[in-house]
């Protein structure tokens, strides 16, 4: 099943703000532990825009090396994903023929390399399966969030006003957003 959380934007980066963002991601992951009892991980950006990704894992593929978030070869692109991607072997062979090196047996690593090869829209168009993911590109300071066309895997989004600009929180379940500080209330508009 797995679960993911992400926090993007907000105040300009500072050590204290980065720690606060990571602490909120950890609270979100705690709310999702039932989705991924086999492990968890976080990743934080180092560039001017803050982004922290988190993942709880239910190990069904790549039992030994499929921990997330997963990065590309130089660590400039990171992804956290919930779900299952189809055509894993064929897509992997194609990407390897184009020079991409895989470090895990995880199907979710495909997303990073498809993004490098085809960009955000092209990567999503290439994916087959039931999935939700959040990807951050350090080079362009770009956040990409997507889910399968049928919406099988949930991906919830909340925007919070912040003095340094809007902050975006994403999660597999609403209770993770609440744990990260989103106030539960109706938006009547």
Residues forming beta bridges with residue 156, ordered by sequence position: 171
Look up 51 and say whether it is catalytic: no
- 111, 79 in Cβ contact below 8 A? yes
Closest to 69 in 3D by CA, of 127, 138, 165, 120: 138
Residues forming beta bridges with residue 9, ordered by sequence position: 167
Half-sphere exposure of 78 (CA within 13 A, CB side): 25
Buried (b) or exposed (e) across 96-121, using 16+ Cβ within 10 A? eeeebebeeebbbbbbbbbbbeeebe
The set of catalytic residues is: 2
């Amino acid at each position: 099943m797995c679960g993911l959380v992400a926090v993007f934007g907000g105040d300009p980066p500072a050590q204290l703000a980065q720690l606060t963002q990571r602490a909120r991601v950890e609270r979100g992951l705690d709310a999702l532990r039932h989705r991924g009892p086999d492990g968890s991980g976080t990743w934080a950006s180092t560039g001017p825009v803050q982004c922290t990704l988190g993942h709880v894992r239910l190990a069904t593929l790549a039992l030994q090396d499929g921990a997330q978030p997963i990065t590309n070869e130089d660590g400039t692109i990171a992804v956290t994903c919930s779900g299952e991607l189809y055509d894993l072997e064929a897509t992997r062979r194609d990407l390897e023929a184009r020079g991409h090196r895989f470090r895990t047996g995880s199907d979710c690593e495909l997303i990073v390399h498809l993004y490098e090869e085809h960009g955000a829209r092209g990567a999503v168009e290439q994916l087959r399966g039931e999935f939700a993911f959040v990807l951050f590109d350090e080079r362009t300071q770009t956040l990409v969030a997507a889910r399968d066309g049928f919406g099988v895997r949930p991906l919830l989004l909340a925007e919070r006003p912040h003095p340094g600009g809007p902050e975006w929180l994403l999660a597999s379940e609403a209770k993770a957003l609440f744990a990260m500080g989103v106030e539960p209330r109706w938006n009547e508009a």
